[in-house]
Structure 1
Amino acid sequence: MAKKTRARAAAGTGQDNPRRPCPCGSGKRYKACHGAGDDVIVTRPFSGLAAECDLVAMREFLPSATAPLPLAPPAERTVTLATVLPGASAALVRPDGEVLIGMQVQTRSGDLSADLAKALAWALEAAPGSALPVVGPGLAGEPTRLQDVLDTGATLDLTVHADFGWWVPPPEDGSEPAADVVATLERANSVILPTEPVEAEGVRSAYWVDTGAKAHLRWVRPEPEDALQAALARLQARDELNLSPETRYAGAFRAHGLLVPVWDLDREQHAKEWVEPVAAFAKRLDKALAETTPLTDAERRARDALAGKQVTLR
């Protein structure tokens, strides 16, 4: 019974009406999902948060980024959310009391939202200089989710960094970091893929990424998958799916319940050169999303072809 109670609390539900859809976004009935009491996989852990797309980007492909975590009132502490912390820790409290929570961690449970809320609860009570290496099943504390502790209407004010220099705040006495710290930073910095946000009107959570062999645009979309697939199919059937004649739609990956379309780009062009093409595409996509007529035969064929270019990240 205690196990079932924990699962219900993690999903933010009570015991009434177990036949209703589970609020975790899995598409299952509550009694067959979080009401079952097992450590089930929550397919859309950040559902209901305006920051959902930002959180998915930080979890899956942004290498070095930070953002103030928009805690719900009456929160008094300042908390920084980070893509990855030293040692892939779940949380740490710096000697000056600054709290940092990591998205990309060593272990996880079936509910990333609950994991992050657990790490946050630990960090707010931990002593300065402490670190939480892992989080997931078994961490003590009242089970909550991010939806319970964040301002659900707030997006993240993300800063994408070129390196991990923010891991080590400048010493107050002006001394140089220790040799082992410098070596750790150099190793981390050596594997960063250059990444920049594409900031344009009507565009959010779109990022230019240079993988070395080619450049990509990765764009986390908030729409339900069926609606987005239909809109992309309409554009494909009209030969309007590419950002420009020099680009190619590569496909999409599913991450935490959302689709992330990906385009191959010309590596010779800087991220800022894609602002106008991406903004123009955003307008075409919005129009396609607003269409309600049934798909034509050509659009259905395009949808089926695009579905073959999708993969799911676990």
Structure 2
Amino acid sequence: MAAKKNREKPAGENPRRPCPCGSGKRYKACHGAGDDVIVTRPFAGLAAEPDLVAMREFLPSALAPLPLAAPLEVPVTVATVLPGASAAMVRQDGSILLGMQVQTRSGDLSADLAKALRWAQTAEPGSALPVVGPGLAGEVTRLQDVLDAAAPLDLTLHQDFGWWIPEDAEDSAEVTATLERANSVIMPTEAVDGVRAAYWVDTGSKAHLRWVRPESEDALMAALARLHAAGELELGEGTRYAGAFRAHGLLVPVWDLDREMHAKEWAAPAQAFATRLDQALARTGDLSTAERSARDALAGKQVTLR
């Protein structure tokens, strides 16, 4: 219970800040007033943005300490998914877990996570928040209000969900069955060494590289078009640029890979591509005719996730 008493309210609430939906209104008078406005880029302005998008959309089992601007006296960890797809959990030791992949959400994932954190700060140890709903009253905050904006996430990927169960928890047939069901659907996933927010994923029939990029879509598409026109878009022999999906305001390019190669073998090709991409992003001026054609072709390989 001591941990509960020592928890503090996050700092940084600013009801006069502009709404991230782009309406031009103050957040409190727009989305903060309860309107279900869709914030297309909920984690904008955070160095952790690519990490949060990856955790939300395709990483199966991962944890990261949440870099709060004003750290609490209990650890706060963000997780890909919690038991029951809960929004938050408070363990018996007072530590807090926030879930990225939840059952329901509002139009602003950033506000949902901040809401779940606020709930956890006053919740009893051993409790869980199934969903973030309108019952959580009070001034609306967002992750941008409570995080160190310059800090990326220090992600740890796991090959199963064993971390769901605290070490001192008692075994039971129900817990064992739940873990077995969750572990059976995990797709093997590994971070690509030396490349930020790039992940090797084995879907069972194919292997992919999925890479969350922080640039604006226009800038990234222009750079990819330049590389495509120059024949430099692939990662090497046996690879194919499959397309890209939009997720929470960012573009995630995807490559098909040779499934027979180990995940670590893609580090050097990905790092070499990263160098080429940085050079293409630094180029200015209009696209050539061939590059415009390449951009149009790449645009046909994009989908948007919600």
On whether the aligned pair clears a TM of 0.5, the verdict is yes
Q: Which amino acid aligns with 1:150?
A: L
* 1:176-222 residue CA offsets vs partner (Å, 9 max, x unmatched): x111000000000000000000011xx20000000001000000000
Equivalent residue, structure 1, for 2:7: none
* 1:56-83 residue CA offsets vs partner (Å, 9 max, x unmatched): 0000000000000011125332101100
- Whether the aligned pair in 2 keeps the contact of 1:118 and 1:141 (CA below 8 Å) is no
1:1-314 correspondence runs (5 A): 14=16, 24=20, 26=21, 28-31=22-25, 35-36=29-30, 37=33, 38-171=35-168, 177-200=171-194, 203-314=195-306
- Counterpart CA distance in 2 for 1:29 and 1:229 is 26
- Counterpart CA distance in 2 for 1:184 and 1:133 is 16
Stretch moving more, 138-147 or 188-197: 138-147
Q: Which amino acid aligns with 2:140?
A: P
Equivalent residue, structure 2, for 1:18: none
- Whether the aligned pair in 2 keeps the contact of 1:68 and 1:156 (CA below 8 Å) is yes
The 1:183–1:74 alpha-carbon spacing in structure 2 relative to 1, beyond 3 Å, is closer
CA RMSD of aligned residues (A): 1.9
The 1:11–1:285 alpha-carbon spacing in structure 2 relative to 1, beyond 3 Å, is farther
* 1:246-281 residue CA offsets vs partner (Å, 9 max, x unmatched): 100000000000000000001111110000000000
Aligned-pair identity in percent equals 73
Q: Which runs of 5+ in 1 are unaligned?
A: 1-9, 16-21
- Whether the aligned pair in 2 keeps the contact of 1:34 and 1:40 (CA below 8 Å) is no
- Counterpart CA distance in 2 for 1:34 and 1:257 is 22
- Distance apart, 1:34 and its partner CA: 7.5
Q: TM-score, normalised by structure 2?
A: 0.91
Q: TM-score, normalised by structure 1?
A: 0.89
- Distance apart, 1:155 and its partner CA: 0.5
- Structure 1 runs of 4+ with >6 Å offset: none
- Whether the aligned pair in 2 keeps the contact of 1:65 and 1:159 (CA below 8 Å) is yes
The 1:34–1:240 alpha-carbon spacing in structure 2 relative to 1, beyond 3 Å, is farther
How many residues were matched structurally?
292
Q: Which runs of 5+ in 2 are unaligned?
A: 1-11
- Whether the aligned pair in 1 keeps the contact of 2:15 and 2:27 (CA below 8 Å) is no
